[in-house]
Amino acid sequence: MKNYLIIFVISLSFTAFTHAQKIDTEKVFGGYKYTYNNELISIGDLASIIETNTDAYKLIKKGRTNRSLSGVLGFVGGGLIGWPIGTSLGGGEVNWTLAGIGAGLIAVAIPISSSSNKKINQAVELYNASINPTSSTNFKPEFKIIANGSGFGLSMNF
């Protein structure tokens, strides 16, 4: 009985450690969402998962840098557009040059954001391709306790 328990524990730990999970990507309004083990993850969590694959990690770092730059440019551009609009609504003298500069910043931020999304998605694809091809993301073992005239036992079906 002791040998069976040892074999069971070793086989269970082996399947747990060799079973790498795939990162799923889904396009949503305004970007992408990433899930790992059926849980929504942030870009920071995504980077920490991918960190073991150096090529994918380099891509995700570039993507995160571009994403930050795009966010800053978009935020400043939106502020520069919003300021003259607020001034106009308040009845003050409007400087539409600021709105033009803001629109230009947003126009620059859009392709940078697109590039960021492409790099992050390439990193996810590279990571998913590097996962052990023999592991299956559909592996869901079922454990059952069985009893018969000989005694009790544990059954694992997959």
pTM score of the predicted model = 0.65
pLDDT digit string, tens, across residues 111-153:
999 999 999 999 999 998 887 655 555 567 788 888 887 787 7
Q: Are the beta carbons of 120 and 74 closer than 8 angstroms?
A: no
**In angstroms, rounded to a whole number, what is the distance separating the alpha carbons of residues 147 and 154?**
9
Q: Which residue has the higher pLDDT, 31 or 5?
A: 31
- Helix 54-90 and helix 43-50, axial crossing angle in degrees, nearest 10: 170
* Residue 95 DSSP one-character state: -
Average pLDDT, the chain: 83
pLDDT at residue 71 tops 60: yes
End-to-end CA distance of the chain: 22
Question: Which span out of 15-19, 75-79, 147-151 was modeled with the highest average pLDDT?
Answer: 75-79
Average pLDDT over residues 49-62: 90
pLDDT of residue 65: 94
pLDDT at residue 36 tops 50: yes
